[in-house]
């Protein structure tokens, strides 16, 4: 039965008007621009339903990460100072602080990396945070992705079928890091990441971003205006 009884009759518009709530405006087909932006005072922890005086939440427990990042309250350094990183190898920490000392950091290698990751991330909407991070690393380089794309099953990866013969040496650490994050194994350690001979600066940068993605989800990409940066390139 149709929603409107008078459908396809001269009384159709009259019936639609009768069923419309008072003061209701018809939908516009124009682009909607969000006017409200969160401010620091809007996202103060005292307003959170999980707030407990004297017991601040860790970032992994925060239910308002997106709003706090938008308000400019949280920055990359706050996530890098979490216990997850601070209890690591001292040499790794030295490299971490040296690499991320600049105030502006982009997550993706380039526009092609972002488009590829976004395409496959949208195709696998239920993918876990760990596999999101692995996908982030796999889609960074053509050489790796061409080996992995045919071995992606639903929301996971069939690592036993991936062939690494002939892979570029500098990409091997990226692959092993992605596999470690996805499976929870130790194919690569923080001591390995501390060595520039084993892990290039670019690979180190991508792996750290992937670790953040695995821990906090894709909300972390809001940091430094990463999404806005690439959206502006498309227009």
Question: Percentage of residues in the chain with pLDDT exceeding 70?
Answer: 81
Instruction: Count the domains in the chain.
Output: 2
- Same domain (yes/no): 127, 218: yes
Domain that holds residue 50: 1-74
Domain boundary among 47, 74, 101: 74
Averaged over 100-112, what is the pLDDT?
Answer: 78
pLDDT of the residue at 15:
74
What is the torsional sign of CA 11, 16, 21, 22? negative
Domain boundary among 74, 93, 112: 74
- Same domain (yes/no): 98, 208: yes
pLDDT of the residue at 75:
78
The token pair at 203 is: 């690979």
pLDDT tens-digit series, residues 32-68 = 555 677 888 888 888 887 878 877 777 777 888 888 8
Instruction: Using alpha carbons, select from 105, 118, 174, 122 the residue that is nearest to residue 143.
Output: 174
Q: Please state, in angstroms and rounded to a whole number, the distance separating the CA atoms of residues 100 and 96.
A: 6
- Same domain (yes/no): 120, 190: yes
User: pLDDT band for position 106 (50/70/90)?
Assistant: confident
User: pLDDT band for position 8 (50/70/90)?
Assistant: low
User: pLDDT band for position 2 (50/70/90)?
Assistant: low
């Amino acid at each position: 039965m149709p929603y409107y009884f008078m459908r396809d009759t001269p009384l159709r518009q009259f019936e639609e008007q009768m069923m419309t709530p008072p003061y209701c405006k018809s939908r516009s087909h124009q682009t909607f621009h969000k006017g409200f932006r969160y401010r620091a005072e809007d996202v103060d922890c005292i307003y959170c339903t999980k707030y407990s005086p004297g017991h601040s939440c860790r970032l992994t427990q925060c239910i308002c990460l997106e709003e706090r990042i938008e308000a400019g309250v949280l920055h990359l350094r706050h996530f890098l100072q979490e216990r997850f990183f601070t209890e690591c190898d001292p040499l790794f920490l030295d490299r971490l602080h040296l690499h991320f000392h600049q105030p502006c950091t982009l997550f993706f290698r380039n526009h092609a990396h972002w488009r590829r990751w976004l395409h496959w991330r949208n195709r696998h909407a239920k993918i876990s945070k760990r596999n999101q991070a692995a996908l982030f690393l796999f889609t960074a380089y053509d050489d790796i992705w061409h080996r992995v794309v045919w071995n992606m099953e639903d929301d996971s990866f069939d690592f036993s079928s991936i062939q690494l013969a002939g892979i570029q040496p500098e990409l091997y650490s990226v692959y092993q890091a992605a596999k470690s994050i996805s499976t929870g194994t130790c194919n690569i350690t923080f001591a390995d990441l501390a060595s520039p001979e084993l892990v290039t600066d670019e690979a180190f940068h991508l792996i750290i971003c992937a670790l953040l993605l695995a821990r906090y989800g894709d909300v972390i990409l809001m940091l430094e205006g990463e999404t806005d940066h690439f959206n502006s390139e498309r227009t």
